[in-house]
Amino acid sequence: MQGTIIEALDIKTLLLTPDKVICTMPVNERTKQPFGYLHGGASLVLAETVASIGAWASIDQEQEVAMGMEINANHLRSASQGIVTAVGVPLHKGRKSAVWDIKITDEQDRLICVSRCTVAISPKRV
């Protein structure tokens, strides 16, 4: 993940299976908005990362690629420090797309954000 937004935001993958993904991200100067709270965009990057790598774990990685196609989120609580954890599970795994449900919580297990991400599964371009 070197040289990607995953590295830039210090997103760590704790679990990666086709049926569940867990990633963490710090709430710090790289992920906060100007008022000192976790930026909603950073939460979306974390959620889409979970969905994309989860879908990637289910495909033929030599022939296909998984990329976010649509994402939505509800930001339910703010966070100003610590680590947030995203847990994603697939709601649908098809040949051309996958839909993932992602919940982001803080260190006290309080729900920060809920997101749903549709991932496109496409042939790799040569």
Reply yes or no on whether 62 is catalytic: no
Q: Report the run of H or E that residue 120 belongs to, with start and end.
A: strand 111-123
- The catalytic position among 7, 48, 64, 70 is 48
HSE-CB at 28 with a 13 A cutoff on CA atoms is 9
Give the torsion sign (CA, 83, 100, 19, 114). positive
10 Å CB burial of residue 82 (0-12, 13-18, 19+) is middle
Residues forming the active site: 48
